[in-house]
Structure 1
Amino acid sequence: MTDTSATRLVQSHPTPADSTPPPQAPVAETAPLAAGPVGRSPLRRTRTSATWIGVIVFTAVLVLLLIFILQNTQSVQISYFGATGHVSLAVAMLLAAVAGVLLTAIAGSLRIWQLRRRLRGVTRR
C-alpha cells in the first residue's frame, strides 16, 4: 500500500519535465474571401472602386454643367485683347472656368516637377 501512496504523491506533484501544457486542438484556418494578406477586408477600396466613384462624380458634375448651360443662353459681348464677340453667358463662364483650371494645373505641375528634381538631387548625393 505504501507503493500506491508514493505513486499518488508523485502524480499529485509533477516534476518540471512533466509540466508541459496539454496539447490543444488545432485551429482550422479559413481561406480569405479575397486575394491578399489575411486580416484585410474583402470590401476595402481599390483602384477600380475609386475610378468608379470618379466616373459617377464626373457624370453628376457634367449633368449640372449641362443644366447650367441650357438655362443661361442669353448672349453677352466678350472682349479680350482687342478681340470682341458675342457668346452665351454659360459658354463665357465655362471658358473662364477652364482657363482657371488650366492655370492651376500648370502651377501644380511645375511645383511637382520642382520637387521631383530636388528629390533626384538629394538621392544622388
Structure 2
Amino acid sequence: MTHAQGDKPVSGTPPQPPVTQPAPAKPVRIKRTRVSGTWFAIIIALIILIFLLIFILQNLASTTVTFLGMQGSLPLAVAMLFSAIAGAVLVALVGGARIVQLRKATRKANKAVR
C-alpha cells in the first residue's frame, strides 16, 4: 500500500509536531532612579550654564545701576544675572517659609490624632 504525498508517513516513525517559533521576549522596563534623575538635571543645568555664559559674553557693554541710593557701573549681563539671582532667592525664601508652615500644621495634626 502506497501513500500519496501529504498523507501519513509510510515508515513507522511517529509524526513530528509542527515547529513553533518562541515568543519574542518582552522588553525589560528599567525603573528610573534618583541617580538617573540627578544625571538628567546636571545635563540640563550644564546646557543652561553654557547659554548663560554665551549671553554674558555677548552683553559686556557697561551700564549704570542705581539701587537704594547706591550707584555703580557693571556689564549689562552681570546686572541682569544679579537681578535674576535676587528674584530666585526671594522665591526660595517665600517657598521655604510655606514649607515650614505646612510642616508645623502637619505635626500639630498628627499630635491631635494620637
Q: State the TM bucket, normalised to the shorter chain.
A: 0.7 to 0.9
**Counterparts in 2 of 1:21-36, with a 5 A limit?**
none
Rounded to whole Å, the distance in 2 between the matches of 1:110 and 1:81 is 26
Gaps of 5+ in 1: 1-39
Secondary structure at the residue paired with 1:76? strand
Rounded to whole Å, the distance in 2 between the matches of 1:44 and 1:70 is 40
Rounded to whole Å, the distance in 2 between the matches of 1:85 and 1:46 is 47
Q: 2:62 aligns with which of 63, 75, 97?
A: 75
Q: 1:62 aligns with which of 41, 44, 49?
A: 49
Secondary structure at the residue paired with 2:110? helix
* 1:114 equivalenced with 2:105 (yes/no): no
Aligned-pair Cα RMSD in Å: 1.0
Q: Which has the higher helix share?
A: 1
Question: How far is the alpha carbon of 1:44 from its aligned partner?
Answer: 1.6
Q: Deviations over 1:31-56 (max 9, x none)?
A: xxxxxxxxx83x22100000000100
Secondary structure at the residue paired with 2:73? strand
* 1:99 equivalenced with 2:99 (yes/no): no
The match for 2:39 is 52
Q: Normalized against structure 2, the TM-score is what?
A: 0.73
Aligned pair count? 85
Secondary structure at the residue paired with 1:122? helix
Q: Which runs of 4+ in 1 moved over 6 A?
A: none
Q: Deviations over 1:61-114 (max 9, x none)?
A: 000000000000000000111111100000000000000000000000000000
Amino-acid identity (%): 44
